[in-house]
């Protein structure tokens, strides 16, 4: 104690330390706390017990808590056995980062002759139980571990002591889940101890300072703003736009630009700063109360400060209860989207950005990579097969302009219903029309877009602004290493997606009865489970026959959507009794599309592409299914099960027909 008192008076680092931890204190109940008094510190001890472990030497743990740092310290538990000694101390300091509610100090001593596996398992169980009980607290595990290493039981905990603590060995450890929480500095041993003192200097950077707050601007769709925007469109004479030009592209650009302008004028915006350490239950009302309490404290108004403090504590409890009830209702609502979103929020899960080194060069490389199929590598044999198809080449089709030649016409009522079902959380396309605007003003906007849609169907032409897309590369795996590790997802116009849904209904009614029954993807009441059950049924049914066996071949096509050739697709569609007008419209939809790649805040240049079906478009899954619809087997013993771009080819073989089956499977 004399050494401690001397250090406390002469060593600034020692006296200003928040916590002092000592192991192997050899203390017992015969030594009172008064004899261990250290000015400015509060003692918490866990003495060794002779019964039941039967310890006669070694052991004992104690903490000294600096009263300038914390006066609210509670002993949660103590444990003493022949293998392990622990003390759990919950400290709520005067100040801590917002993301940390308290610090739980865990003093540990593991005897050199202890059963290490049993000791670590016991400690891991205690730590896990404490984590579940105090999820917002940070656990700091420190003490004399000797040869034991906690990482084997709790791999998420990091060891912060890097300097030798006894000779050349590191026997004293400090574990937390925080990366770079402390920097260890060795000090001279205390008295006759054979262990060095270790000074742990905090290097943790709180979340508020480590990550800049996210600044985002959103539109406030209040009732007043909605009514003002609806009145604006009610007063608009849409015939002026149609009479001003006969060009479909110009008409569409003018209408979408006008809608975007009206939305910017009528709907106010608000800028939010979201800090990464904000609690989900901390509302704007609580923030105002907290600021008022701080102002009362700075003004020296003690009665007002106490009143606001009590009100704030009461509102915080009410907000937590309300938030818990909200989570409970959402968890029981049988909504997987809400469930996953809440789990992410509760666990503070943030998917790490896999494109941290985004730059303009990478964006250009990805854009060129996604357009690599644009080079027409079609062989002459393939050209001849297309030319021999039942329908003529699309380039020879004359434009269809009369309403009688149009594939079908959409109704204003259907357009209005599609707009009303818009999901407001979806991002807008390059035309700037938002789903919220379409949903709010569905009645007002349905007439003009019905005109545009029908004119597009009559001319068999898709407006250029509807074919512009922003490609968002989505990593296929956690650590992409090459360009092929990014899946291109197209961010297209929400107006065009609504148009595609109307066309999709027409195509399904035309081709639905002709689809291969063994295609299980992108179809209602079909799933991968059905494909598995059907495949097993075919195999087992065949194997029930004597002297038989089965062959199975799994095939997966790479970049399946990106390799669709519009000429081949329209040729196959015509064979499925799709009208020439619809074939020409689909050809216009797939060709001369403009796209650019966006990586975070980096955007590539624009490229034109006329190959493939964009991933993210409503029509793409059905068009791809129709593209491979004729991939079937002519042999009753061979079954081809399809799930999107994946094939399962089953061949039931008997000894007698083995040669014929092999020849039928040969190219």
pLDDT in tens, 302-327: 899 999 999 999 999 999 999 888 88
Above 90 in pLDDT, residue 257?
yes
Whole-angstrom distance, CA of residue 418 vs CA of residue 499: 9
Lowest-pLDDT range of 381-390, 503-512, 640-649: 381-390
Burial environment of residue 51 by CB neighbours within 10 A (0 to 12, 13 to 18, 19 or more) = exposed
Most confident of 347-356, 413-422, 543-552: 413-422
The pLDDT of residue 666: 45
Above 80 in pLDDT, residue 265?
yes
Instruction: Average the pLDDT over 96-103 and give the result.
Output: 86
Lowest-pLDDT range of 14-18, 336-340, 647-651: 647-651
Q: Under DSSP, is residue 73 helix (H, G, I), strand (E, B) or coil?
A: strand
Most confident of 123-137, 333-347, 505-519: 123-137
Q: What is the mean pLDDT of the chain?
A: 84
* Percent with pLDDT over 90 in the chain: 38
Above 90 in pLDDT, residue 529?
no
* More confident: 345 or 74: 74
Whole-angstrom distance, CA of residue 635 vs CA of residue 638: 5
- Provide φ and ψ at 405, rounded to 5°: -90, -10
Whole-angstrom distance, CA of residue 147 vs CA of residue 125: 19
Whole-angstrom distance, CA of residue 665 vs CA of residue 128: 58
pLDDT in tens, 428-462: 988 899 999 999 999 999 999 999 999 999 999 99
283-291 CB contacts, 8 Å cutoff, 24+ apart: 283/319, 285/315, 286/312, 286/315, 286/316, 286/319, 289/315
What pLDDT band is residue 519 in, cutting at 50, 70 and 90?
Answer: confident
Residue keyed to tokens 């030497």: 57
Above 80 in pLDDT, residue 207?
no
The pLDDT of residue 312: 92
The pLDDT of residue 461: 93
Q: Give the pairing of strands 138-144 and 172-176.
A: antiparallel
The pLDDT of residue 535: 85
Question: Minimal CA–CA distance to 593: which of 444, 425, 468?
Answer: 468
The pLDDT of residue 77: 92
The pLDDT of residue 547: 84
Instruction: Average the pLDDT over 569-581 and give the result.
Output: 91
pLDDT in tens, 611-628: 888 877 899 888 988 888
**Three-state secondary structure along 155-220?**
CCCEECCCCCCECCECCEEEEECCCCCEEEEEECCCCCCCCCEEEEEECCCCHHHHCCCEEEEEEC
- Provide φ and ψ at 410, rounded to 5°: -90, 155
Question: Minimal CA–CA distance to 429: which of 489, 502, 369, 366?
Answer: 489
Residue 560 burial (CB count, 10 A): 17
The pLDDT of residue 649: 66
70: tokens are 């914390």
DSSP 520: -
Above 80 in pLDDT, residue 356?
no
Above 70 in pLDDT, residue 348?
no
Q: What are the b/e assignments for 518-547, b being 16+ CB within 10 Å? A: bbbbebeeeeeeebeebbeebbeebeeeee
* More confident: 515 or 348: 515
What pLDDT band is residue 382 in, cutting at 50, 70 and 90?
Answer: very low
pLDDT in tens, 458-498: 999 999 999 999 988 888 877 788 888 888 888 899 999 99
Dihedral sign (CA 383, 385, 386, 388): positive
* Percent with pLDDT over 70 in the chain: 88
Length of the chain: 667
**Three-state secondary structure along 292-337?**
HHHHHHHHCCHHHHHHHHHHHHHHHHHHHHHHHHHHHHHHCCCCHH
pTM of the model: 0.67
pLDDT in tens, 146-172: 888 998 899 999 999 999 888 888 999
The pLDDT of residue 456: 94
The pLDDT of residue 648: 64
The pLDDT of residue 402: 44
Whether cis (ω within 30° of 0) applies to the bond prior to 202 is no
Instruction: Considering only CA atoms, give the Rg of the chain.
Output: 35
What pLDDT band is residue 383 in, cutting at 50, 70 and 90?
Answer: very low
């Amino acid at each position: 104690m004399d050494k401690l008192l001397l250090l406390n008076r002469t060593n600034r680092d020692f006296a200003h330390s928040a916590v002092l931890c000592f192991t192997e204190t050899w203390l017992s109940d015969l030594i009172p706390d008064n004899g261990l008094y250290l000015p400015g510190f509060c003692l918490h001890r866990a003495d060794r017990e002779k019964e039941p472990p039967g310890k006669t030497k070694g052991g004992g743990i104690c903490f000294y808590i600096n009263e300038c740092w914390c006066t609210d310290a509670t002993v949660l538990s103590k444990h003493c056995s022949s293998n392990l000694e622990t003390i759990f101390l919950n400290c709520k300091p005067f100040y801590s980062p917002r993301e940390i509610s308290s610090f739980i100090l865990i003093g540990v001593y593991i005897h050199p002759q202890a059963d290490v596996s049993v000791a670590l398992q016991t400690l891991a169980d205690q730590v896990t139980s404490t984590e579940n009980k105090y999820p917002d607290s940070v656990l700091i595990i420190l003490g004399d571990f000797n040869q034991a290493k906690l990482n084997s039981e709790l791999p998420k905990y990091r060891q912060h002591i890097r300097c030798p603590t006894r000779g050349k060995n590191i026997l004293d450890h400090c574990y937390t889940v925080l990366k770079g929480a402390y920097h260890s500095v060795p000090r001279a041993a205390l008295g006759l101890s054979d262990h060095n003192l270790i000074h742990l200097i905090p290097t943790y950077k709180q979340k508020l300072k480590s990550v800049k707050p996210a600044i985002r601007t959103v539109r406030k769709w209040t009732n007043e703003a909605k009514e003002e925007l609806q009145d604006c469109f009610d007063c608009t004479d849409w015939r002026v736009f149609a009479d001003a030009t006969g060009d479909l592209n110009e008409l569409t650009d003018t209408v979408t630009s006008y809608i975007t302008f009206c939305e910017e004028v009528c709907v106010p915006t608000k800028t939010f700063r979201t800090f990464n350490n904000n609690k989900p239950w901390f509302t704007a009302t609580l923030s105002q109360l907290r600021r008022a309490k701080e102002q009362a404290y700075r003004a020296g108004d003690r009665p007002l400060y106490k009143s606001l403090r009590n009100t704030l504590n009461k509102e915080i409890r009410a907000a937590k209860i309300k938030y818990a009830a909200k989570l409970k209702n959402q968890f029981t609502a049988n909504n997987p989207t809400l469930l996953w979103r809440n789990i992410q929020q509760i666990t503070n899960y943030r998917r790490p950005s896999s494109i941290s080194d985004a730059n303009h060069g990478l964006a250009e490389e990805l854009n060129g990579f996604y357009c690599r199929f644009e080079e027409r590598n079609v062989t002459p044999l393939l050209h001849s097969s297309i030319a021999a198809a039942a329908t003529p080449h699309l380039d020879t089709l004359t434009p269809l302009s009369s309403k009688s030649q149009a594939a079908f016409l959409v109704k204003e009522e259907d357009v209005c219903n599609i707009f009303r079902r818009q999901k407001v959380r979806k991002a807008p396309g390059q035309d700037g029309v938002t789903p919220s605007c379409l949903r709010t003003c569905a009645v007002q906007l349905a007439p003009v877009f019905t005109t545009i849609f029908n004119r597009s169907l009559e001319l068999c032409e898709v407006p250029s602004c509807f074919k512009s897309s922003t490609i968002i590369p989505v990593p296929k795996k956690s650590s992409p290493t090459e360009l092929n590790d990014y899946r291109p997802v197209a961010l297209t116009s929400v107006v065009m997606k609504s148009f595609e849904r109307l066309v999709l209904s027409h195509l399904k009614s035309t081709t639905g009865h002709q689809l291969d029954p063994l295609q299980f993807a992108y179809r209602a009441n079909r799933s991968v489970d059905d494909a598995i059950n059907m495949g097993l049924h075919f195999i087992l049914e065949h194997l029930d026959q004597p002297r038989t066996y089965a062959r199975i071949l799994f095939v997966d096509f790479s970049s399946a959507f990106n390799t669709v050739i519009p000429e081949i697709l329209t040729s196959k569609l015509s064979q499925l009794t799709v009208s020439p007008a619809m074939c020409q419209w689909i050809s216009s939809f797939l060709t001369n599309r403009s796209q650019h790649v966006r990586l975070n805040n980096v955007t590539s240049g624009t490229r034109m592409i006329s190959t493939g079906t964009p991933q993210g478009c409503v029509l793409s899954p059905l068009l791809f299914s129709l593209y491979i619809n004729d991939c079937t087997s002519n042999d009753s013993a061979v079954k081809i099960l399809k799930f999107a771009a994946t094939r399962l080819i089953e061949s039931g073989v008997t000894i007698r027909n083995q040669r014929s089956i092999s020849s039928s499977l040969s190219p």
